[in-house]
Amino acid sequence: MTPPTDIETAPPETPPPETALARAYATIRTGILDGRFRPGDRLREEHLAEISGVSRTPVREALRRLATEGLVELTPGLGAFVSSWSVADLEAIFAVRALVEAAVAEQAARHLTAADIDALEARAERMEDLAARRPAGFLDRITGLNHDFHTRIAAACGNDRLAGLLTQTVDLILVHRTFRRYHDRQLVRSMAHHRELVDAFRAQDADWAGAVMRAHVHAARHALVADLSLSPPAEPKAP
């Protein structure tokens, strides 16, 4: 049996380069998508290296990769910032998402099994229940269930390229935490769309599923853009 390591005195292990890059990338990306790092926030290499448990070199590479994905802006002389989207930017992103996710729903309607649809219905019911009861942290729980709901649909579409393109566009929007911007009526409407998607999938009606998904995305666009028009994101600032 290997003796236990004294974690107080043992020297820290240096992760292999690829592992270090993956760790830094995952840490920063998750922080952006879960709202820990907000649009316009400066991303300091020292802090990112500390929370990732890696050196600054993989952090820099991770930031460059995230910049190519649109989640990070690299500003010469200032550093890295979480991307801030203008209303026009978000309109364009949502237009792409509406096209792609409607196509994903149409394809999924042809491939989802009864068990898959049961799983989607269970998540739709849990979201409805949370929206009705509003326990502590209900929006975070709905956000997680919603992500799982849409991810399951994408996984069933049978087209990895289409699903990958959808992931990229959805991630850009997730930075703005859409559910936190919904009014009561908008939240109820979103839950109703999930229910109708389940009905369309059970009917194996691709056109119906695509139409509902398109309406679902456009409703989310309206809620987010209307809110941002009243309180636009801050511009990146020098430290």
DSSP per-residue codes, 158-211: S-HHHHHHHHHHHHHHHTT-GGGG--HHHHHHHHHHHHHHHHHHHTT-HHHHHH
Contacts within 8 Å (CB) and 24+ apart, 96-99: 96/169, 97/166, 97/169, 97/170, 97/173, 97/217, 98/214, 98/217, 98/218, 98/221
- Rounded-to-integer distance, Cα 94 and Cα 224, Å: 10
Let me know if domain 17-82 sits in CATH 1.20.120.530: no
Please report the pLDDT score of residue 175 as a whole number. 57
Please, is 116 exposed, middle or buried when counting C-beta atoms within 10 Å of its C-beta (0-12, 13-18, 19+)? Answer: middle
pLDDT per residue, tens digit, the chain (239 aa), is: 444 333 333 333 444 556 999 999 999 998 988 778 988 999 999 999 999 999 999 999 999 999 998 889 999 999 999 988 788 888 898 999 999 999 999 999 999 999 999 999 999 999 999 999 999 999 889 988 998 999 999 999 999 999 999 988 887 766 556 677 788 999 999 999 999 999 999 999 999 999 999 999 999 998 888 776 655 444 434 33
Domain with CATH 1.20.120.530 in the chain: 87-230
Q: What is the largest CA-CA distance in the chain?
A: 63
Identity of residue 100: V
For 50-82, b where at least 16 C-beta lie within 10 A, e where not — what string?
A: eebebeeebbbebbebbeeebbbbeeeeebbbb
DSSP state of 81: E
The Cβ of residue 184 has, within 10 Å, a number of other Cβ atoms equal to 9
87-230 CATH: 1.20.120.530
pTM to 2 decimal places = 0.74
Q: Are 121 and 196 contacting, i.e. CB atoms less than 8 angstroms apart?
A: no
Both tokens of 53, joined, read: 């448990």
Please report the pLDDT score of residue 11 as a whole number. 35
Please report the pLDDT score of residue 16 as a whole number. 55
Domain with CATH 1.10.10.10 in the chain: 17-82
Please report the pLDDT score of residue 17 as a whole number. 56
Please report the pLDDT score of residue 12 as a whole number. 39
